[in-house]
Amino acid sequence: MLRRLSALLFLVLFSAVLLFATADGAWLAKVPASDHQKTNPYESQPDAIAAGRNIFEEHCAKCHGQNAEGVKKRPSLRSERVQRQATEGDLHWLLVNGSMKKGMPPWAKLPDPQIWQLITYLKSLHE
């Protein structure tokens, strides 16, 4: 009985982890190739990093934490997925379109230069 219960518990936990891992990066598969390939006009520019930090603090820190490490169920923006797997174009697409099923609102109301500055700041966090 104990062996059966342990096997069932393992199966449930493994399925939950697999489901979470798949769902967590599902938005990346939705990014059109044209958006995926977009380049950031402000990449690595110190002024853009500073401006992006201000935008982050105003619009993003409430959910993602002051240091972008995530809060409760909101993901860390220092993760491998954000810092290395997602292109700047992928992040731009996510910020413009959001992912409401995951609680991420679209930020299309921000002017495009501000979205790119925010991305510049986020990508600077990997260093």
Q: What is the pLDDT of residues 60-76, one digit of tens each?
A: 999 999 999 999 888 99
Average pLDDT (79-104) is 92
Query: Count of CB atoms within 10 A of residue 74's CB?
Result: 16
CATH architecture of 28-124: Orthogonal Bundle (1.10)
Under 8 Å CB-to-CB from 119, ≥6 apart: which residues? Answer: 40, 42, 52, 88, 91, 92, 95
Q: Round the average pLDDT of the chain to a whole number and report it.
A: 84
**What is the model's pLDDT at position 3?**
62
**Considering the entire predicted model, what is its pTM?**
0.77
**What is the model's pLDDT at position 67?**
92
Give pLDDT tens digits for 4-26: 544 444 333 433 333 333 336 78
